[in-house]
Structure 1
């Protein structure tokens, strides 16, 4: 028995990764400009206006869509850059822009009334009242739901709204208010919320101490592992801490989201699109993950069983979790 086709929304941090995602079967690719308007603002990643124009044209030629993430919050007195990037996305014929800031949503809806608006997960709209506000005030057509909802809660939200919902299906987990992390800002002076850089590599240090490998972020020791053990990337929300007699991962374990086995339940909950995280990943990573999940959504649409767990080797710490979909985190 056939079922509705879920839209697969895939990441691209470079033009090469963009083409790889399209060629591997992405229905939609999201990317960003190479500046602080983009919540993955890392050296060597992202797109110039010319690169984005070429990439969008490639997507449209292949029958796919391109979304532009302008999902950080403008700095006081410097909103012109963010306005210019909204204008650029509209001029370059992006299929939608992904926005979080209320001021930018207002600007885009008035200046470019025909430009489709998606609400970023950065907006943290986790209930029907908030989502209806964005839809009514700015004409938002889709909301990316925060990664703090169970499948049952997603179904309840969808029953009370009239716009599309998109949820994360694979990749890194962020539990600190969806990227608006004061911990990373405190440790590095770089705000994920405004500068687009969570735990930037420029502030990461690995050093051998007493036979252990210690990883630091902004001078703070985040992990200590014995020689030969895998050392996870030092992000504060997944750090290993000592609190009294307890030693472990207080906020979240260093693992990746893989909710492939929940595709049928998410579809039944009314979800329109499944989103893969990973704009900072390599082209080969993008190709492998997209190809695997395109098969999964096609299998679901055709009424075939969805096979999960094939991408464990590409996950953080080679471990996976269903995250808050099953509310097993502390």
Structure 2
């Protein structure tokens, strides 16, 4: 969507106030969702009414930013009108694109609103050129949000075959197949694809036991940390487990993805847009992360050294990782 060759900074907004903060901090595009089950961050206190989205689109457009509406859950049988209405409203209210995962919704948007740009959600888990080509050919998809499981070399190989615009650069690191975590569905009875993120607040419980803060997801104990230490995000894939005499985290110790230092490599691999995770995050978090990446993207565009390490205090465990881009997992 950028026409000047600069990497596009795509930022989250869980509320209208967060959207204004993201735009003012330098976002090129902001993604958000309606206040219902059509988006994968359907939490109390988050998301947008139609009136709020209309006001937010006007605010963003005046500032030169774009608004992308995530309608990225999979419809319930017999309730298609809820998802269709969300697409209709996004088009009516002036959204610059919709972010979809379901084949039927992609077909509906292409048929009813051909002028509305269609992006493929990470929930679709399109991680190779053949899958991406299917969505581009059949539904006119212009952007694909890649799962956070690919190396820079793998992203380059995909882009050598077919245009693909987006990668994640900061935020929570999903180490399972995006949106399709069977562990989470088993533990909570709620599917990430249909009911939102893997750790719903209603299923997360904390308790102090023997000087430790114990986190549980449903009936599963997933971590124990001394009560004065930062607690990791309570997802099963980031839990601490004991097996075969070894106790530790399955992949990496809890950290957040920060790919600021890899912007030149990602741009060289053909990425044209950079996505920050965090629609459930606070306004102060959004402001600091967006402003930091705005400086990084601008520095890269000018051929200057990229400032890094500025966001460690906002990361899980106050540490960051390049994640699958470098694949240093155990």
TM-score, normalised to structure 1, is: 0.96
- 1:268 deviates by 0.8
Cα drift, residue 7 of structure 1: 0.3
Please name the residue that 2:269 is paired with. Answer: 269
Instruction: Give a deviation string over 1:50-98, Cα, whole Å, max 9, x none.
Output: 1111101111111111000001111122111111101110111110000
* Contact 2:11 2:276 (8 Å CA) reproduced: yes
5 Å-filtered alignment, 1:40-189, equals 40-161=41-162, 163-189=163-189
Q: Give the corresponding residue for 1:25.
A: 26
| Residue ranges of structure 1 left out of the alignment (5+ in a row) | none
Q: CA deviation at 1:28?
A: 0.4
State the distance in 2 between where 1:165 and 1:152 align: 15
Does 251-260 or 91-100 show the bigger shift? 251-260
Measured after TM superposition, the shift of residue 212 of structure 1 is 2.3
Take 1:264 and 1:4, find their aligned partners in 2: how far apart are those partners? 13
CA distance in structure 1 between the aligned counterparts of 2:9 and 2:165, rounded to whole angstroms: 12
SS at match of 2:328: coil
Cα offset, 1:114, TM superposition:
0.8
> Normalized against structure 2, the TM-score is what?
0.96
Task: Flag as ranges the 4+ runs of structure 1 deviating above 6 A.
Answer: none
Q: Partners in 2 of 1:34 and 1:253 — Cα distance?
A: 33
Q: Supply the distance in 1 between the matched residues of 2:12 and 2:288 (Cα, whole angstroms).
A: 12
Q: For residue 251 of structure 1, report the CA deviation from its aligned partner.
A: 4.1
Residue deviations 1:243-268 (CA, integer Å, cap 9, x gap): 12111111443110000000000011
Q: 1:288-303 counterparts in 2 under 5 A? A: 288-303=288-303
Aligned-pair CA distance for 1:4: 3.2
Inter-partner Cα distance in structure 1 for 2:5 and 2:108 = 34
CA contact (8 A) 1:39 1:192 kept: yes
1:286 corresponds in structure 2 to 286
Contact 1:155 1:270 in 2 (8 A): yes
Deviation at 1:197, TM superposition (A): 3.4
What is the CA–CA distance in structure 2 between the aligned matches of 1:229 and 1:296, rounded to whole Å?
30
Cα distance in 1 between the residues matched to 2:124 and 2:282? 27
- What is the Cα deviation at residue 230 of structure 1? 2.4
1:214 paired residue number: 214
Mapped partners of 1:34, 1:24: distance in 2: 24
Distance of 1:188 and 1:52 partners within structure 2: 31
Per the TM alignment, residue 192 of structure 1 is displaced from its structure 2 partner at its CA by 1.3
| Structure-2 residue corresponding to 1:310 | 310
Aligned residue-pair number: 327
How far, CA to CA, are the matches of 1:250 and 1:242 in structure 2? Answer: 10
Match of 2:328 in 1: 328
Q: Secondary structure at the match of 2:70?
A: strand
User: Any idea what SS the aligned residue of 1:169 has?
Assistant: strand
Q: State the distance in 2 between where 1:98 and 1:108 align.
A: 10
Q: Name the counterpart of 1:245.
A: 245
Whole-angstrom CA distance in 2 between matches of 1:210 and 1:294: 44
Q: Which range moves more in the overlay, 213-222 or 280-289?
A: 213-222
Determine the C-alpha separation between the residues in 2 that align with 1:289 and 1:156.
29
Where does the alignment leave 5 or more consecutive residues of structure 2 unmatched?
none
Q: Is the 8 A contact 1:37 1:196 kept in 2?
A: no
